[in-house]
Structure 1
Amino acid sequence: MKQNTIFKTFVSRFLILILNFGLVIYSTNMWGSEGKGVISIVIADLTIISFFANIFVGSSMSYFASKYKAEEILPFAYLWSILVGILIPVIFSFNHALEYSNYLIILSVLSSLLAANVNLFVGQQNIKMFNLYTVLQQIIHIVFIVIIVYIIKITSVNSYFIAQISCFGLLFLISSYQVLRRCDFKNISFSRQIGSKLFDYGWKTQLSAFLQFLNNRLSFYFLEYFKGIVSVGIFSIGVAFSEAIWTVSRSLSLVLYADIVNNTNSNEAIEKTKISLRISFLITSLFLGIMLLIPANFYAMIFGKDFHQTKEIVLFLSPGILAIAVSNIIGYYFAGINKLRILNVKAIVGLIFTIISSFYIIPKWGIRGACVISSVSYCLSSALLFWRFYQITEFHIHDFILSKKEVDLLLRKVFR
């Protein structure tokens, strides 16, 4: 595994983490817990739509980028992005105000089109370009918010979505120029065979990802139903911390996945997976420790008085956060070798637990109950993935402990 690529990917994801939390802090102070709840629900809807779009624009785009020409797979991705981006938000419009449904349609189409270009970079092992665009999505979004709120003077929560639309649109145009200038338009085609392969791989990977997303986000909808939109806004901060901490494992997983799909040595792939496990376990544990040492009053001061429960939420979520951070690595290993069934099984196990327990626990315990449910669900699904991985390889405790040589190497990268 290319160590420079891993480190640069981690740095880019860490920068995204900082920018994202800056945006979270701003949105909670600007629009309060209700506004943050609206943003959380709309973004949750957008994420659900992205799972359908990603059948063609997600992992399948990365997986087949090294096997087919870009002009043979991009037409499927672009057409699918438009169809899904319009159809599914129309279905969702029955549950949300019309103004947010309109935003959702535009966001869905543009984010899917952009994802097709960016995931093509991953399949071509152009991780540098992938990192650049993921960072720019945060930076440009923030720039547009500043322009819209303080120059155009749109101060409602609508400004968040208008800025995001502008960001996705600009980045799609730029990335399209980079991608399409290398394409031979004479070779553009809609091959039934290629389309079938894209769909077959895509729906299997996205089914797993979608089920895992429901594990992560279903509590939002139960909380909204039983406790109201304000509780969603409060709980979403703890979830945002979870996803921020997962930055490390996702960075490692991305590089690992790009490496595995271009590598036929199974023993080497397993060894690289174990190295990623060790790094993810160590750094995630460190981040969790730091967050739990921060006083509760500090969170309330940063996010506002409505968010005084943030430290408690992180505490309840921490076992599950650590479990997912490490199991993410194994999940991408199985995706890279096209063994997708176990990913679906582990996600279904977690989802079944989440659905059944939410009806009983959230009405009684509210936000605390949502935290406990999420954490237990994460641990259950991760345990199943660990069990399957260690069926094909021997378990060693040092799989989760960095050697002195690896620590020295990591430190040298950081200080450099």
Structure 2
Amino acid sequence: MKQNTIVKTFLSRFLILILNFGLVIYSTNKWGSEGKGIISLVIADLTLISFFANVFVGSSMSYFAKRYRTEAILPFAYIWAVLMGILIPLIFSFNHASEYLIYLIGLSVSSSLLAANVNLFVGQQNIKMFNLYTALQQIVHIIFILIIVYLVKVNSVTVYFVAQIASLGVLFIASGLQIFRHCNMRRISFSGKVGGKLLDYGWKTQLSAFLQFLNNRLSFYFLEYFKGIVSVGIFSVGIAFSEAIWTVSRSLSVILYSDVVNNKNSNDAIEKTKVSLRISFLITLVFITIMLLIPGQIYSMIFGRDFSKTKEIILFLSPGILAIAVSNIIGYYFAGINKLRILNVKSLIGLIFTIISSFYIIPRWGIRGACIITSVSYCISSGILFWRFYQMTKFRFQDFILSKAEINLLLNKVLKKNRTLK
């Protein structure tokens, strides 16, 4: 794994981290806890839909990017993205209020189409383009929000969704033009064999991801049912902090996955996994410590009076945040070597715990109970993945400690990058 790639990816993830915080702060102050709750539930639905779309547009695109021609796999991804992006939201509308259905369809189609392109870049080991388009999703989204609010003078919460659809659409077109410059349109084909391979790998990875999503988000729906939409908005800020911190581990995971699927040396893949693991562990620990050192009054001042318990939420979530930061790395390693059963097992066990405990704890303890359930569930599922990984390799405490040489190398790269920017 190239150290320069790791540093560039970390810097891009750090930028996304800042932008995520900025967007959370703006949305909570602009639309309040109720508006933030609506955004959280729509995005939760979008994430759920993405698991169906990602059967073809997700990790299967990365896994088969160098095994088949782009012209043979991309058509499957695009058609599937449009079908799922329309069909699944319509199915959801029978059980959900349809007020935001049109926005959910727009978000589903545009995000899935862009995901196909971005995941193709990962499989081609074009991490530069992956970093660029991942960062631009936040940047362009914010730009469109500001244009709509301050130039068009629209202030409803739907601005968030319209701006996101526009940003995803623009980036899909831009990335698509890059991809098709290197494609022969006359070689576009639909092979049953290729489609079958994409489907077989895709549904297995997405089953694990779907179970993990339910594990991550089920508390939203329990909170809405037992305590109301406002509590969802308050709780979602703590979850937003969690996911912002995970941008580091997720980006390292993508780099690792790109290396592993193209690497025939199993020992080399394991060592790269351990390097990513300790970087993710230590950086996540630093971010959590910083957030816990910030006085609670600062969070209230930034997000508003409704969010006075944000520090307490982060405190209860912090063990789980750290656990997921580690398991993200190991999970992508298993996906890269096509060992998917353990991913399903760990997600299913965590989900069962979440469902059973939520019925008893959330009605009694509310948001605090949701935090405890989420954190414990994260730790259980991550512990199972951690145990399985270290059955395959020797456990060392040094796996979680950066060596002096690695620290110096990272610092030199960062300083060099800063001098270049100046």
The interval holding the TM-score normalised by the smaller chain is: over 0.9
CA contact (8 A) 2:89 2:105 kept: yes
Deviations 1:90-129 (A, max 9, x none): 0111344333011101110111011101111111111101
- Residue number in structure 2 paired with 1:385: 385
Give the aligned partner of residue 345 of structure 2.
Answer: 345
Corresponding position of 2:85: 85
Deviating 4+ runs (over 6 angstroms):
none
CA apart distance, 1:188: 0.9
Work out the CA distance in 2 between the residues paired with 1:60 and 1:227.
39
What is aligned with 1:271? Answer: 271
C-alpha deviations, 1:55-100, integer Å up to 9, x for none? Answer: 0000000000011111000010011001100010001113443330
User: d(CA) in 2 for partners of 1:175 and 1:253?
Assistant: 22
User: What residue in structure 1 maps to residue 317 of structure 2?
Assistant: 317
1:160 Cα deviation from its structure 2 partner: 0.7
1:230 and 2:230 equivalent? yes
Contact map agreement 2:3 2:410 (CA 8 A) in 1 = no
Name the SS for the 1:189 alignment partner. coil
Counterpart of 1:15, as a letter, is: L
How do 1:98-177 and structure 2 match up within 5 A? Answer: 98-177=98-177
Q: Distance in 2 between matches of 1:207 and 1:92?
A: 19
Number of equivalences? 416
Matches of 1:152 and 1:206, distance apart in 2: 39
Q: Distance in 1 between matches of 2:408 and 2:294?
A: 28
What is the alpha-carbon distance in structure 2 between the residues aligned to residue 96 and residue 379 of structure 1?
Answer: 31
User: Which position in structure 1 is the counterpart of 2:362?
Assistant: 362
SS at match of 1:347: helix
> Given the alignment of the two structures, is residue 284 of structure 1 paired with residue 284 of structure 2, yes or no?
yes
- Separation in 1, partners of 2:99, 2:110: 17
Which amino acid is the alignment partner of residue 222 of structure 1?
F
Q: Which amino acid aligns with 1:311?
A: K
Does the residue aligned with 1:366 lie in a helix, a strand or coil? helix
Residues 242-281 of structure 1 correspond to what in structure 2 (within 5 A)? 242-281=242-281
How many angstroms apart in 2 are the aligned matches of 1:237 and 1:318? 14
Quick one: distance in 2 between partners of 1:95 and 1:32?
Answer: 26
Are the equivalent residues in 1 in contact too, given 2:89–2:104 (CA < 8 A)? yes
1:218-258 CA-partner distances (Å, limit 9, x unpaired): 10000001000000000000001111111211121111100
Identify the residue that residue 214 of structure 2 maps to in structure 1.
Answer: 214
1:4 matched to 2:1? The reply is: no
SS of alignment partner, residue 353 of structure 1:
helix
Residue equivalent to 1:70: 70
RMSD: 0.8
2:370 counterpart letter in structure 1? A
Q: Give the Cα separation in 2 of the matches to 1:50 and 1:194.
A: 21
State the alpha-carbon separation in 2 of the partners of residues 150 and 282 from structure 1: 40
Distance 1:344 1:97 in 2: 31
Q: Match of 1:391, SS?
A: helix
DSSP-derived class of the 1:183 partner:
coil
Question: Match for 1:152: what amino acid?
Answer: V
Distance in 2 between residues matched to 1:99 and 1:2, nearest whole Å: 47
AA partner of residue 46 (structure 2): L
Following superposition, the deviation at residue 414 of structure 1 comes to 2.4
Tell whether 2:57 aligns with 1:57.
yes
Q: Which residue of the partner structure matches residue 331 of structure 2? A: 331
Is the contact between residue 361 and residue 369 of structure 2 (CA under 8 Å) also seen in structure 1? yes
CA shift for structure 1 position 337: 0.5
In the alignment, the residues of structure 1 paired with residue 114 and residue 248 of structure 2 have an alpha-carbon distance, to the nearest angstrom, of 23
For residues 36 and 231 of structure 1, the distance between their equivalents in structure 2, rounded to whole angstroms, comes to 10
Consecutive unaligned residues in structure 2, runs of 5 or more = 417-422
SS at match of 1:154: coil
Distance 2:132 2:89 in 1: 29
1:155 alignment partner, SS class: coil
Deviating more after overlay: 57-66 vs 3-12? 3-12
The residue that corresponds to 1:414 in the other structure is: 414
TM, length-normalised to structure 2: 0.97
What is the letter of the counterpart of residue 355 of structure 1? I
Aligned equivalents of 2:212, 2:369: Cα separation in 1? 19
Amino acid at match of 1:16: I
